[in-house]
Amino acid sequence: MKVLLSAYACEPHKGSEPGVGWRWALEISKLGHEVWVLTRRNNRRWIEGELSTMEDIKNVHFFYYDLPKYLSFWKRGGRGVYLYYFLWQLCSLKVVLKLHNSENFDQAHLITFGGIRQPNFLRILNVPYIVGPIGGAEKAPWRLRCGYGPRGWLLDAIRDIANIWIKVDPLFYFSVSKASSIYTKTKASLAALPKRYQTKAKCRMEIGIDRSSAVRLHRECSQVATRFLYVGRLVYWKGMHLGLAAFKEVLLEIPDARLSIVGVGPDEKRWKKIAVEIGIDKNIDWRGWVPHQEIKKIYLEHDVFLFPSLHDSSGNVVLEALSFGLPIVCFNLGGPGEIVDSTCGIVVEAKGITRRTAVRELATGMLLLSRSAKKRTVLATGGVAKADKLAWHKVVKKLYPKV
């Protein structure tokens, strides 16, 4: 089967959306399909450099398109990236149609960006096409937004309105009405679809893990765990205004505990200010940005992974942490809430609870794992098993039959 894969974000050795685009392209081709990948020109250097080292990959082809430079101001600093993406899709149609005329694709598939609010134009090709997995309709509980700050409140309110608009958005109708299959990342995003499309939509994970990265060695578990870890963007909806407060409660009982925070983002200064105000700054290690390939060592240096995100659609870092044997403490929200269960972590029910209860429950989970080496060992084993079930080839095969 000849597949056109639309992957705006696509780059080897990256996490998040770029890693998703790259791995889906490779895994579909490994199933025996001929894959043509549409992506951005600025990914070309990294993609072709990696392909030059992969002699076994023969049936995946990349073609590149970018908007004229005078339009690039739309996405400076990431502020207008979705407008740029919309224009990129629209303007690349001429290139896509020309390629379709020569290759005669059997199927098209939009994989990145996998946002439920971003339209696509694949139906113009007049071939069966897949949309997704898409996400982004997950909603943070109102009570837990306390601590966002004014900017966070405003942005989440705009996001809520945009998700309601999906129900009547003519561009969304154009994007999915003729789709052969629609996949969503979470049940919340599935429920956000107009009812007439929910019957042909399914919930599927779009992220996976390398089989080679799963830790199969026994983790050394100290009697009392003192090393907690957060990895991700430093942005309000990741919920660390709650995570920091929970860590303060942990310190009341384990004064030598430490929390490492890996990542950068617009809320870094605010989080550091919160840490100072509540008196826990001396127990936090701000690690900043770390190359994706170097995070492996950091996972292995810690005991428990704290990820109190309030509306993540996926949770790449959660899956990575599981593969390295780290028990997870998270909310039952979004992708993390669907990945993590009692076999590999502690999941806090977030709906309907107050901020104080959320903080207390996070702290309770962290303390439980701190005190019980046996519990950590059981969950570490369960985490590696969970990661094995979400190996890339298994995730992609659920959508594509092997030739």
- CA Rg value for the chain: 21
Report the CATH number that the domain containing residue 109 is assigned in CATH: 3.40.50.2000
One-letter amino acid of 225? A
Instruction: Say whether both 56 and 110 belong to one domain.
Output: yes
pLDDT of residue 200: 85
313-340 confidence digits (pLDDT tens): 888 899 999 999 899 999 999 999 999 9
3-state helix, strand, coil in the chain (%, to 5): 50, 15, 35
DSSP state of 292: G
Instruction: Say whether both 66 and 151 belong to one domain.
Output: yes
**Peptide bond between residue 113 and the one before it cis (omega within 30 degrees of 0):** yes
Instruction: Say whether both 15 and 151 belong to one domain.
Output: yes
CA-wise closest residue to 47 among 37, 33, 34, 56: 37
H helices, E strands: number in the chain = 16, 13
Is 147 among the domain residues?
yes
Instruction: Provide the pLDDT confidence category of residue 231 given band limits of 50, 70 and 90.
Output: very high
Look up the domain containing 364 and give its range: 213-389
Q: Across residues 195-218, what is the average pLDDT?
A: 75
pLDDT of residue 76: 62
pLDDT of residue 268: 93
Instruction: Say whether both 200 and 277 belong to one domain.
Output: no
Please state at what angle helix 240-253 crosses helix 355-371, rounded to 10 degrees.
50
Q: Which residues contact 123 (CB under 8 A, 6 or more apart)?
A: 129, 174, 175, 177, 178, 179
Is 108 among the domain residues?
yes
Instruction: Say whether both 237 and 249 belong to one domain.
Output: yes
Strands, sheet with 258-262, edge to edge from the N-terminal-most edge strand:
284-288, 258-262, 227-231, 304-307, 328-331, 345-348
Instruction: Say whether both 145 and 35 belong to one domain.
Output: yes
Percent of the chain with pLDDT over 90: 50
pLDDT of residue 77: 57
What pTM, to 2 d.p., does this model score?
A: 0.87
Q: What is the SS3 assignment for 108? A: strand
Residue-averaged pLDDT of the chain = 88
Task: Please check the confidence at residue 47 and state whether its pLDDT lies above 50.
Answer: yes
Q: What is the SS3 assignment for 153? A: helix
Task: Please check the confidence at residue 19 and state whether its pLDDT lies above 70.
Answer: yes
CA-wise closest residue to 3 among 26, 36, 31, 32: 36
Burial class (CB in 10 A: 0-12, 13-18, 19+), 218: exposed
Task: Please check the confidence at residue 217 and state whether its pLDDT lies above 80.
Answer: no
Q: Across residues 371-383, what is the average pLDDT?
A: 89
Instruction: Say whether both 20 and 62 belong to one domain.
Output: yes
101-147 confidence digits (pLDDT tens): 888 899 999 999 888 888 888 988 989 999 989 999 899 998 898 88
Q: How many CB atoms lie within 10 A of CB 401?
A: 10
Residue 31 to residues 27, 183, 202, 223, Cα–Cα distance (Å)? 7, 20, 21, 45
Instruction: Say whether both 371 and 340 belong to one domain.
Output: yes
pLDDT of residue 218: 47
Instruction: Say whether both 176 and 224 belong to one domain.
Output: no
79-111 confidence digits (pLDDT tens): 678 888 888 888 888 889 988 888 889 999 999
Is 402 among the domain residues?
no
Q: Which residues contact 221 (CB under 8 A, 6 or more apart)?
A: 303, 373, 376, 377, 380
Instruction: Provide the pLDDT confidence category of residue 216 given band limits of 50, 70 and 90.
Output: very low
Task: Please check the confidence at residue 220 and state whether its pLDDT lies above 80.
Answer: no
243-269 confidence digits (pLDDT tens): 999 999 999 999 999 999 999 999 999
Instruction: Say whether both 9 and 157 belong to one domain.
Output: yes
Instruction: Say whether both 145 and 232 belong to one domain.
Output: no
Instruction: Say whether both 219 and 193 belong to one domain.
Output: no
Please count the structural domains in the chain.
2
Is 403 among the domain residues?
no
Least confident of 45-59, 210-224, 308-322, 346-360: 210-224
Please check whether residue 141 is in contact with residue 192, taking contact to mean a CB–CB distance below 8 angstroms. Answer: no
